[in-house]
Structure 1
Amino acid sequence: MITFREKKLKMVWEMSKDGFTSFLVGTAHFFPYSFKESLIHLISKADVTLFEGPLDENNMEAVREYGVARQDGMSLYDSLDEKTIAELNKELGESAEFSGCSLSSYISVFKREHHDLLSQEIEGLRPWMAFFKLWSHYLAKRGWKHSVDLEALSVSRELGKKVVFLETIEEQLTALDGIPFERIVTYLSNFRNWGKFSRHHEKQYLKGSLDSLLNIISGFPTRCPSIVEHRDPVFFTRMRPYVEAGNAVVFLGTTHIQGIVKMLEQEGFKVSQYSK
């Protein structure tokens, strides 16, 4: 039974070729609702589930350790205007406890005794780590305590399914380092519109409206070649043997779905959004 804090997952595509069928799920790394019943429905029938990169505790810790290593010549704080700094300091100064999503727990917890909290919290971090620290804090504070990726991985393990990761942690970190510094600065400078962005994102994701969602997140820092266009062919090549064999469920961030669907169709797959 689907509960109040649980929704039906609609970002799902069916992939078929030569009589074999698999599923592709566009994930939200942070979200205010659970999709556990939908995930159980999909994963229970699968032989294998595939994810972008390793999500275990050791690899998450490796991401954190790498992210706190200073990147020379890039001061995110110094690149922000005074108004944005004031807004972010106000956000960080309004107390809220972290709970729920373990992605947030790896890039938390905020100390509050310093008058310039922003400088304190992002000093010495790689720009992408600083951004995700602020972004995850903002979302968790507003109840975005779930992660489709982590929930799907948990269900897969509960059901005893084979789990495959499509990239190494080293490949993932290289991609993160490729996020343009200017995109991060621009998105942080637009902090006053984060509420509108997150509400629209939630609405379109729940509807399963991929095109509308991609329009909303066009300015998000990770909508860039190192994260999307450079990784899509790698994901496709590595997932292909599994989807050709059938009974696989592939979990990729929503920004990858458009490119992956195009590659599937070019290789003779019939792809349609799954509505059952």
Structure 2
Amino acid sequence: MKKTFLLVCSLLMGIAFGQQSEKSLLWKISGNGLQEPSYLFGTIHITCDASLSEKVKTALDKTQQLCLELDMDDPNMQAAMMSSMMMKNGVTMKSLSQPEDFKIVDAFLTASVGFSAEMINPVKPFMVTAMLYPKMLGCDIQSVEGELIKIAKAQSEEVIGLETVEEQLAVFDAIPYQEQMNELVKTAKDNMQRDKAELAEMMALYKTEDVEAMIAFTEKSPNVMTSKYSDIMLKNRNQNWISRMTAIAKNKPTFFGVGAAHLGGKDGVIALLRKAGYTVEAVN
């Protein structure tokens, strides 16, 4: 009886440890013809503390190039971003909102970022929301991607991207402009309180390294940009990335850094790489 009890306890501890070991932001990609392993790391695009763990630094040492969502050291990136910020077909924020709501947004932007909605009327509302992130964060913004780039450059390694600026910003043409504007109006009306709370929760969740909890968080978000349109924001892009990632990894061992919300779930990058025949293991 005692042996049986100990066996059950051992099995339960093994299951618990196995589940816990899957909580990681860093994953090793191997097998399926790869001569050397590559690594996959879940980033958070804005944070108060972008310091990298020792295991991440070790993985960077073991790889020969850095691949982010975008080639962030491309000198043409800013110009490409500026040309992709505007809504198509003459749509404006004013045309997407009731007059009283536009006035609220106009006053809110003037107070928050120092310029009025009138000045940036043709800009995609999501891009306007992105301008507010420093205010939502409540601290000096740090960039995980920026820290990764510093190390890559110190090691004289190339920095490349999984998608172009045009491809990434096309996502915000696929998501209805009206939905984007509706969310910006909500942000203005409650002075970012909902957004601040959600961002704080996401940052706390990121520290747990639970990628499955992160994808679940996005699915229940009150912001329809992440919940209702997760296929456009995450799933479709994940699928597009896999063939690119595998070709890159076969060429040379690579450190991939993408938003942590892209990693988990049945349509996440981890599951898709495994489906493609690769071994993907949590690094703890």
Q: Is 1:32 aligned to residue 48 of structure 2?
A: yes
What is aligned with 1:111? 114
- The alpha-carbon deviation at position 242 of structure 1 amounts to 3.3
The amino acid that maps onto 1:54 is D
Greater helix fraction, Structure 1 or Structure 2: 2
What is aligned with 2:11? none
Three-state SS of the structure 2 residue aligned to 1:44 is helix
- The alpha-carbon deviation at position 63 of structure 1 amounts to 0.3
Q: Is 1:181 aligned to residue 151 of structure 2?
A: no
What is the distance in 2 between the residues matched to 1:84 and 1:200? 29
TM-score, normalised to structure 2, is 0.72
Three-state SS of the structure 2 residue aligned to 1:40 is helix
Three-state SS of the structure 1 residue aligned to 2:88 is coil
- The alpha-carbon deviation at position 41 of structure 1 amounts to 2.9
5+ residue gaps, structure 1, are 1-8, 95-109
The answer on whether the counterparts of 2:91 and 2:122 sit within 8 Å (CA) in structure 1 is no
The answer on whether the counterparts of 1:178 and 1:227 sit within 8 Å (CA) in structure 2 is no
The answer on whether the counterparts of 2:124 and 2:177 sit within 8 Å (CA) in structure 1 is no
CA shift in 2, pair 1:210/1:91, >3 Å: farther
The amino acid that maps onto 1:238 is R
The amino acid that maps onto 2:128 is A
- The alpha-carbon deviation at position 249 of structure 1 amounts to 1.0
Deviations 1:215-271 (A, max 9, x none): 333345255333322222221101103334663211112232232111111122222
What is aligned with 1:217? 218
- The alpha-carbon deviation at position 122 of structure 1 amounts to 3.7
Alignment of 1:74-223 (within 5 A): 74-77=91-94, 79=96, 86=104, 89-90=107-108, 93=111, 110-111=113-114, 117=116, 119-120=117-118, 122-134=120-132, 136-139=133-136, 142-143=138-139, 145-188=141-184, 189=186, 191-218=192-219, 219=221, 220=223, 221=225, 223=229
Work out which of the two has the higher radius of gyration on C-alpha atoms and give 1 or 2. 2
Three-state SS of the structure 1 residue aligned to 2:235 is coil
CA shift in 2, pair 1:90/1:164, >3 Å: closer
Q: Aligned match of 1:238 in 240, 244, 254?
A: 244
Q: Aligned match of 1:61 in 79, 93, 100?
A: 79
Three-state SS of the structure 2 residue aligned to 1:228 is helix
Alignment of 1:252-267 (within 5 A): 252-258=258-264, 259-267=268-276
The amino acid that maps onto 1:165 is G
TM-score, normalised to structure 1, is 0.74
CA shift in 2, pair 1:245/1:71, >3 Å: closer
Three-state SS of the structure 1 residue aligned to 2:141 is coil
CA shift in 2, pair 1:173/1:30, >3 Å: same
Cα RMSD after superposing both structures: 3.0
What is aligned with 2:38? 22
Q: How many residues align?
A: 244
Q: Is 1:49 aligned to residue 66 of structure 2?
A: yes
- The alpha-carbon deviation at position 202 of structure 1 amounts to 0.6
The amino acid that maps onto 1:33 is D
- The alpha-carbon deviation at position 186 of structure 1 amounts to 4.3
- The alpha-carbon deviation at position 33 of structure 1 amounts to 0.8
The amino acid that maps onto 2:150 is S
CA shift in 2, pair 1:40/1:88, >3 Å: farther
Three-state SS of the structure 2 residue aligned to 1:25 is strand
- Aligned residues with identical type, % of pairs: 18
What is the distance in 1 between the residues matched to 2:197 and 2:177? 23
- The alpha-carbon deviation at position 90 of structure 1 amounts to 4.8
Deviations 1:108-151 (A, max 9, x none): xx336xxxx4x2454221233223223x34235x1151122232
The answer on whether the counterparts of 2:29 and 2:278 sit within 8 Å (CA) in structure 1 is yes
What is the distance in 2 between the residues matched to 1:159 and 1:24? 18
The amino acid that maps onto 2:238 is D
